[in-house]
Structure 1
Amino acid sequence: MPSRFPWKSNYQKVPPHVQSALDAIEGDLIAVAATKKVSRADIASGVYAHVGLSIANGEIATSGPVAPPADAGKWSGRNAFGWDRKRQDWPMVPKTWTFESPNFGDGARNGWTMRSWTKDVYQHQVFEPQGMTVEASVLEDRGGDMVVVKFALAPMLNRGMPEFDLMLLWSINVLQENTGVTGVFASDATHAQYIATITLDWQVFPPGTADEVVARLVGTAAPTNAPDYEKHVRDRVRLFESFQPQNYLRGQGGFGSYFGAQFADDLVVFENLRYGNAVYLLYQNWDEASQRSRLDLLRDQDAHFDRVPHTEGWEDRLKALLHDKLFERGLRRRRNGYRPQKRRRGG
């Protein structure tokens, strides 16, 4: 498939010039950024419009951080939609699926029953959409044919973060795919500023009427890139209400698109409506899990959570899965017509 842009798409491994720059950085916080001489003609023709660089009245204009398009390349697509990475090097774990099947072979006459099926499978490492953004800034413009532009990627990286080598490759490739250049610099941000960019801080509040819950979840403004936000939130609240959540959750600050419900100490359902491609059921102690960063929380073994993609019938699958997890915790009676089928691979 030909590249969308007239430059090298991405790297299979960290290129030598980036590795050398990384080795020379003493601190832990790494900024992914690079400078480039860009022709005014290319800017005028829209080559860099997708990263917010344009010309207005003869002056170079920038539009701040922008989300790179998913079709810019493989890594940009993963940034926008997430990435499911099969790990055959990890131990196998039991996994449960839910599905509907016709009663006595004839669903039209006898109805349908939701069943569950469990077997041992390879774990998958699921990366949710990363939300990386690119920001262009003009460093030098003397009115000639060329201008010097800095392209910077956010968020920054930390050497101590899980999967740092993979995240470095991912980040430099997003920048490369969208700008044709990539590099790393020591960040001048403090550690506290870095933590603030990745930590998912939850606002927790008890159930109330549907209108009260929706008003609290929606807050004063809907997140960007989340159309019909209030409608989606109201639909989820209606779904959650029948399962009697203990608390509702809403991300604070820059994470206002995250919301969900807590049903037990180790059972939380949440999603990010900015991307809106899946609902997550998290099976970890909430006190511990709520302190983890947004990136660390879902950059993990999927034994700790289930992901229900928003494909046809996802609401029924979510209800069945949630019902079963509540039953396992003694918080709900077994569903009528429940037929668990447990199968294991031979050891």
Structure 2
Amino acid sequence: MSQYRKVSWKRNIRRIPDTVLSKLREIEQGSGIVPVCTKRVAASDLQMGMYEHLGLSLQGDDSSFLGSVLPPTDSGVFSTRNRHGWEIRRTDLPMISKDIYLGERPIYGDWSNGSFSLWQQRQVYQTEEYGPTDYSIEIELLRRVDDGYLFKFALDCTLDRDVNGFDVELLFCLNLLQENTGSCGIESSAMSREDYIATTLVDWEIFPPGSFDRFLAKAKSNILDNDPKTNRIIEERVNEFRRLSPDRYILGKGGFNRYIGAVLPNGVVSFENIRYGNALYVLYEDWEEVSQRSRRELLQGTNANYERIPHAEGWVERFRKAVREKRA
């Protein structure tokens, strides 16, 4: 049984359609590329709930919809990767040593004596990590038509054809639209390459170590719905950063304000996307280099250069151990 909801259209495409390639040739060099499509949606389809996953519905004689929606994971594999990222096992690369956390164990077999963390060093294949792309679909009603409505669906991202890996990124975005709308395409953003770079680089706000309370308050203020669960996650993560005596706290600015983190001693950079809160990343690279990456590049590479720590049992000890090893 499929883990994805049923759709009335072809869910995925294996290559970039000829119509998109033709459109790409028409768009002036230097312009940004926006994944977008226009689709006629019948009122009966809205009534049947065919587009409920995008917040589209029929209210009386008119359509109702949200301005922006993060595609749900049950739309397909690309929607799942968009939210949670993915990894590829690189059997073509040398194996590396990794300390594997095997859980807590009782001292001398008796929990009343206390417990200890059991670790085992193993040789493992490197995995190539790809973090969540976090693209939302922006929805606009263009006009009413005889039997329904004409909607525009656009991803909130701009692609640069001069960037290495553009074709792969474009196919990913087209599939994200295809899974959720049954259609896909592109348009020019009329955005220069300089503007593209400025809007895709993560812009960080820096807080000195003595400004913990201000940093925590600012991180919480970025949560639009003031969700108590998210606020608890932020407090937990930030307090853990604080225990490791950071050189500075970092907070994503503008459209990237979902990122919180810290620059720790000895060049360790740690951060996570608080919208998901499913993993903490520890990067063993210079902050100056990390700070110049784009959102897509931020969580991309092999795990030989960084540690991804899911928030499962023992994550705090794994985090502290990863930082201690780098300091040593």
Report the Cα offset of residue 290 of structure 1.
0.6
> For residues 168 and 223 of structure 1, what CA distance do their matches in structure 2 show?
30
Aligned pair partner of 1:121 in 121, 124, 138: 124
Name the residue aligned to 2:302: 301
Aligned partners of 1:223 and 1:274 also within 8 Å: no
Name the residue aligned to 2:203: 201
Name the residue aligned to 1:331: none
Aligned partners of 1:101 and 1:107 also within 8 Å: no
Report the Cα offset of residue 47 of structure 1.
1.6
The percent of aligned pairs where both chains have the same amino acid is: 37
Paired letter, 1:295: R
Q: What CA deviation, in whole Å up to 9, does each residue of 1:31-78 have, x standing for no partner?
A: 111122221111233322322433345233442121111100111111
Name the residue aligned to 2:170: 168
Change (3 A) 1:97 1:266: farther
TM-score (normalizing by structure 1): 0.83
Query: What SS is found at the alignment partner of 2:37?
Result: strand
Aligned pair partner of 1:146 in 145, 148, 151: 148
Change (3 A) 1:230 1:95: same
Name the residue aligned to 1:215: 217
Report the Cα offset of residue 117 of structure 1.
4.2
Paired letter, 1:208: G
> For residues 88 and 25 of structure 1, what CA distance do their matches in structure 2 show?
39
Report the Cα offset of residue 204 of structure 1.
1.3
Paired letter, 1:199: L
> For residues 227 and 19 of structure 1, what CA distance do their matches in structure 2 show?
46
Q: How does 1:1-347 map to 2 (within 5 A)?
A: 1=2, 3-28=5-30, 29-100=32-103, 102=105, 106=109, 108=111, 111-114=114-117, 116-142=119-145, 144-208=146-210, 211-218=213-220, 220-223=221-224, 227-264=228-265, 266-326=267-327, 328=328
Paired letter, 1:33: V
Aligned partners of 1:10 and 1:177 also within 8 Å: yes
Paired letter, 1:86: R
> For residues 117 and 5 of structure 2, what CA distance do their matches in structure 1 show?
45
Paired letter, 1:132: Y
> For residues 56 and 163 of structure 2, what CA distance do their matches in structure 1 show?
31
The gaps in structure 2 that reach 5 residues or longer are none
Aligned partners of 2:57 and 2:64 also within 8 Å: yes
Query: What SS is found at the alignment partner of 1:31?
Result: strand
The count of corresponding residues between Structure 1 and Structure 2 is 325
Aligned partners of 1:225 and 1:274 also within 8 Å: no
Q: What CA deviation, in whole Å up to 9, does each residue of 1:308-335 have, x standing for no partner?
A: 0112222222122222222x2xxxxxxx
Aligned partners of 1:72 and 1:178 also within 8 Å: yes
> For residues 6 and 172 of structure 2, what CA distance do their matches in structure 1 show?
18
> For residues 308 and 161 of structure 1, what CA distance do their matches in structure 2 show?
29
Aligned partners of 1:27 and 1:186 also within 8 Å: no
Aligned partners of 2:266 and 2:326 also within 8 Å: no
Change (3 A) 1:305 1:36: same
Report the Cα offset of residue 224 of structure 1.
5.4
Aligned partners of 2:39 and 2:183 also within 8 Å: yes
